[in-house]
Amino acid sequence: MHSSSRFLCLLGLVSVALAQSTNQAGYNPRIGPSNANCTRQNYQLEITSNNMVFQNVDSNANTFIGSGANVCNNFVMYVYNDHLSTGLSEHPNDTYNVVQASTDLAIATKLLDMLKHGEIGGQQFDKVIGIGHSYGSVQIQALSATVPQMLDAVLLQGFSMNGHLLTSGAYSPATEVFPDRFNQSGLPSTYLTTLAPQTQQLNFWFFPYYSDAAFDHNRKTEQPVTQGVLFTQGGLMQNATSFTGPVHVVTGANDWPFCFNDCYAVPANSTYTSIPEYVQELYPVTSNFSVYIPENTGHAVNAHYSAPDVYQEMLAFVSNVFGA
């Protein structure tokens, strides 16, 4: 292990229905830019119920095995298929008391701590930017409030203070929606995916600004979310009263779950011009708050035609932080 001044992006790249892959459907352990030298690291997190966010956790559920993070030459990607209950990670049976948003927050906190101490990838990072998408932004936002000293900046993609329209996904048991991919004897019925391509589309996509291939790939690799996570995630958002780093929010103009399809639909007497701008009310002492709203883009920002431009904009924010 060596300490270095390398930087790290904690990519909480999480979308309820936009995971990349599964063990049953061609899990791809190699993710990351093609010019980055990434290796997959497995980790096991010891998390005990004396952590304040835990309640009623049974004694067998205190250790979670994550499938791993992709540790690259100068950053780490931690993505949705590494989360508890998805991809190759454990799929706990208790999807109410165990697999819920506060459990994911405890895991993210522990992971961040391990990264700061060089316990993953053998490299210590002294500058960390938390980057989330959707539920990942919910997690990163909560981290910036609960452990503000551990993050230098946050980039919240697919986010606002105005979520979520969950019923329109018609979330249904993954084993019924995708019987070929999810094994009924192995996965409780409380692991859910969106019911149909139509309900997936309504929530995550803005027609026709994406390719059929992107949509089909997503549908084929959609990962389940537990009822516990789905219905507790709204409770994580909190006022980051002592987070002093810069905050950048990137939300598609036509995001359904966070803007109800129109991010500019603010009350006539609002002091803000868009819904994502309200996020600044959670950051009273941020050094710089900014918003970017890509046009013709739904919630699945990363899968629309606008994605390459959006990434350039996001990378400019990241470069600015690392350059500071």
Q: Which residues of this chain interact with ligand NAG, rule CB under 6 A?
A: 37, 93, 183, 185-186, 188, 239, 241, 248, 267, 269, 281-282, 284, 288, 290, 317, 320
**Cβ-based nearer residue to ligand NAG, 13 or 282:** 282
Q: How far is the CB of 305 from ligand NAG (least distance, A)?
A: 23
**Cβ-based nearer residue to ligand NAG, 168 or 290:** 290
Q: How far is the CB of 73 from ligand NAG (least distance, A)?
A: 7
Q: How far is the CB of 37 from ligand NAG (least distance, A)?
A: 4
**Cβ-based nearer residue to ligand NAG, 135 or 317:** 317
Q: How far is the CB of 266 from ligand NAG (least distance, A)?
A: 10
**Cβ-based nearer residue to ligand NAG, 66 or 188:** 188
Q: How far is the CB of 173 from ligand NAG (least distance, A)?
A: 13
Q: How far is the CB of 299 from ligand NAG (least distance, A)?
A: 22
**Cβ-based nearer residue to ligand NAG, 284 or 295:** 284
**Cβ-based nearer residue to ligand NAG, 93 or 296:** 93
The full 3-state SS of the chain, as one line of letters, equals CEECCCEEEEEEECCCCCCCCCCCCCCCCCCCCCCCCCEEEEEEEECCCCCCCCCCCCHHHCEEEEEEEEECCCCEECEHHHCCCCCCCCCCCCCCCCCCHHHHHHHHHHHHHHHHCCCCCCEECCEEEEEEECHHHHHHHHHHHHCHHHCCEEEEECCCCCCCCCHHHCCEEHHHHCCCCCCCCCCCCCEEECCCHHHHHHHHCCCCCCCHHHHHHHHHHCCCEEHHHHHHHHHCCCCCCCCCCCEEEECCCCCHHHHCCCCCCCCCCCCCCCCHHHHHHHCCCCCCEEEECCCCCCCCHHHCCCHHHHHHHHHHHHHHHHHC
Residue nearest to ligand NAG (CB): 186
